[in-house]
Amino acid sequence: MSHTAIALNPFSLMMEPERVLQTMERSQQLRGLRRHKLRPLDKPLIPYTDEALASRAAFDAELDAQDRRQHAAAYRLN
């Protein structure tokens, strides 16, 4: 199998990750890409008030309670 065929076959690439890294390092197209440093959003853009956080917690607790009731109803023997 030629080198080009191996490079285009994703299954052979999974078996040889070193070759993938070497190919990526030699790629002019990849080197030409603009690089951006992306960071996850650690904090919300709009700060939450204590009231909003309490409301969200109450809503989540109600959903959890409904879920528990539905699961309990599925196991009742009537």
* 70 lies in some domain: no
* pLDDT tens-digit readout, 26-43: 888 887 877 777 777 666
Q: How many domains does the chain have?
A: 1
* 28 lies in some domain: yes
In 17-77, at which residue ranges do the beta strands (DSSP E only) sit? Answer: none
Determine the pLDDT at residue 12.
76
* 55 lies in some domain: no
Q: Are 12 and 6 in contact (CB under 8 A)?
A: yes
* 12 lies in some domain: yes
Which range of residues forms the domain containing residue 14? 3-32
pTM, rounded to two decimals: 0.37
Computed on alpha carbons and rounded to an integer, the radius of gyration of the chain in Å comes to 26
- Distance, in Å, from the CA atom of 43 to the CA atom of 45, rounded to the nearest integer, reads 6
Torsion 30-35-40-45 (CA) sign: negative
* 49 lies in some domain: no
